Each structure stands twice: as C-alpha cells, then as structure tokens.
C-alpha cells in the first residue's frame, strides 16, 4: 500500500487505467500497481459506463458482464448526485473539460481521491497521479 502524506491514499481508478490494464498496453504494469493495489479505491458511475462501453466495443456483452464484477469488487462505485453534478458544472465552466471528465474530477474532489490515469486531459490537474 502506498502512503500519501502520512495517510492512506484514496484513489479514483480512471477508465483509462482499467482499459490500459486489460489491453496490455505500454503502461499496463504501472496501471496494475493500482488495480491490484491496496489503496481505498473508487470510480465514478461515469467511469463504469466508459469501461463497460469499451468492453462492448472491443469484445461483447458476455465479456463485459464477466469483467464488470472485477471493477465493482475493487472499487466503490460513486453515483452521480446533485453535489457532484453542481461541482462538475463548475469544473466544466472553469476548466473547459468534457462533461464526463468534469463529473469524474468532481467525484474525485468531493471524495478526497487522487485520479489514477494516463489520460492527457487530466495530466496537469493537482488531483491526478499521472501514469506515464
């Protein structure tokens, strides 16, 4: 387990990280450190939709239904509520991120989590631990 400033790190394992892990990409070993790690892990319901969609496009629904429980066992799925929605609107307005990315960032912020990703849209954000 990695330590962050003397406290246990909570991470939001972004869709990018799960996809990199499953496709065996260049950064899959780094992604595995978090997916197989012991940090407290969350994902946004938006991440779950992105991951499921990627599996459907790359494989089929049978595989998607087989892989989904892996994500749900590792991560607490945070639903989009009104606080997250309002924070996401502020983020979109201030930073110009896509709405899905704004919802993910809002989820991380309101949960006190660091986003684990290699997605360049998150690279310069203070809430990100960038893979790559």
Q: How many CB atoms lie within 10 A of CB 92?
A: 18
Residue 8, pLDDT score: 73
Residue 4, pLDDT score: 46
Q: Select from 14, 13, 32 the least CA-distant residue to 22.
A: 32
Provide the residue-wise pLDDT of the chain in tens; the chain has 132 residues.
444 455 578 999 999 999 999 999 999 999 999 999 999 999 999 999 999 999 999 999 999 999 999 999 999 999 999 999 999 999 999 999 999 999 999 999 999 999 999 999 999 999 999 998
Q: For the chain, list the domains and their CATH numbers.
A: 3-130 (3.40.50.1010)
Beta bridge partners of 41: 11
Residue 9, pLDDT score: 85
Give this prediction's pTM.
0.92
The Cα 88–Cα 100 span in angstroms is: 9
Structure tokens at 64: 């998607």
């Amino acid at each position: 387990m990695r330590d962050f400033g003397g406290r246990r790190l909570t991470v939001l394992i972004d869709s990018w990280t799960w996809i990199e892990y499953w496709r065996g990409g260049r950064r899959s070993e780094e992604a595995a450190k978090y997916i197989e790690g012991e940090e407290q892990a969350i994902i946004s319901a938006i991440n779950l939709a992105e991951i499921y969609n990627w599996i459907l496009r790359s494989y089929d629904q049978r595989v998607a239904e087989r892989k989904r429980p892996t994500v749900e066992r590792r991560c607490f799925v945070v639903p989009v509520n009104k606080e997250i929605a309002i924070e996401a609107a502020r983020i979109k307005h201030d930073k110009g991120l896509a709405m899905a990315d704004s919802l993910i960032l809002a989820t991380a912020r309101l949960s006190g989590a660091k986003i684990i990703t290699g997605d360049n849209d998150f690279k310069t954000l203070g809430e990100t631990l960038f893979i790559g």
